[in-house]
């Protein structure tokens, strides 16, 4: 069975070194059938810059990614979407690469485990960014995406092994960030509603730039862990 790993934000090439180190350590062990999931702020579409795509595509594994807030959401809206029989769900693809976008509200079945994915989140620095160039309002999921997720969860009886998101449910936020970062992110409220409705075993997310576990929740940044 192919192996599956999960890690935190890479911000384009800014904090990608742990992933490169992992590739160098595992290049004689892993193949493109194995996958590493990046939990947002990946920036594979950033102002037409494809360098991150080239770096990720050269990894010894395939890359799956959840969208964060620091993404080019205009490009995401234009990506090619297909049903993938390996991941058992709809994904966004970049032609001629092994890079796959796990889309908001989708459920997947990977290695006999069920996954629910809901990306997005608020940029607390958006006031310093340029709309349509370094910030996009689509970073916050809309009601259609939220209800799409509800419908997909209902089809699997609101039970899932693993939730993958960029940020986390609203009431969980203070556990993973300092008081001066408690902001009103509509994404976290949506995730709170999901959390109260579903049964899950693990919830992995990024966004807060720390590696920390609290109960079923794990925030990832530099750590790369295997899902078994």
Q: Tell me which fold the domain 4-226 belongs to.
A: Purple Acid Phosphatase; chain A, domain 2 (3.60.21)
| Domain ranges (residues) in the chain | 4-226
**What predicted TM-score, i.e. pTM, was given to this entire model?**
0.96
Distance of alpha carbon 15 from alpha carbon 42, whole angstroms: 10
Beginning with the edge strand found earlier in the chain, give each strand of the sheet holding 159-165 in spatial order.
Answer: 107-110, 113-118, 159-165, 199-205, 217-219, 212-214
Q: Could you read off the pLDDT tens digit of each residue along the chain, which spans 228 residues?
A: 899 999 999 998 788 999 999 999 999 999 999 999 999 999 999 876 688 999 999 999 999 999 999 999 999 999 999 999 999 999 999 999 999 999 999 999 999 999 999 999 999 888 889 988 888 999 999 999 999 999 999 999 999 999 999 999 999 999 998 755 556 799 999 999 999 999 999 999 999 999 999 999 999 999 999 999
């Amino acid at each position: 069975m192919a192996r599956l790993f999960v890690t935190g934000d890479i911000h384009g090439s800014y904090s990608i070194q742990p992933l490169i180190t992992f590739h160098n350590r595992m290049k004689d062990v892993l193949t493109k059938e194995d996958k590493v999931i990046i939990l947002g702020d990946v920036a594979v579409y950033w102002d037409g810059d494809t360098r991150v795509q080239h770096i990720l595509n050269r990894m010894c594994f395939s890359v799956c990614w959840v969208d964060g807030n620091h993404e080019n959401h205009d490009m995401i809206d234009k990506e090619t979407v297909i049903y993938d029989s390996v991941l058992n769900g709809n994904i966004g693809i970049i032609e001629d690469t092994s890079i796959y976008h796990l889309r908001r509200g989708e459920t997947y079945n990977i290695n006999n485990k069920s996954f629910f994915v809901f990306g997005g989140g608020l940029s607390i620095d958006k006031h310093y960014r340029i709309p349509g160039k370094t910030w996009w309002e689509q970073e916050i999921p809309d009601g259609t995406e939220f209800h799409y997720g509800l419908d997909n969860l209902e089809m699997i009886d609101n039970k899932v092994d693993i939730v993958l998101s960029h940020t986390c449910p609203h009431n969980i936020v203070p556990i993973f960030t300092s008081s001066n970062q408690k902001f009103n992110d509509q994404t976290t409220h949506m995730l709170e509603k999901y959390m109260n409705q579903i049964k899950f075993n693990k919830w992995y997310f990024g966004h807060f730039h720390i590696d920390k576990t609290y109960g079923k929740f794990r925030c990832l940044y530099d750590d790369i862990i295997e899902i078994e």
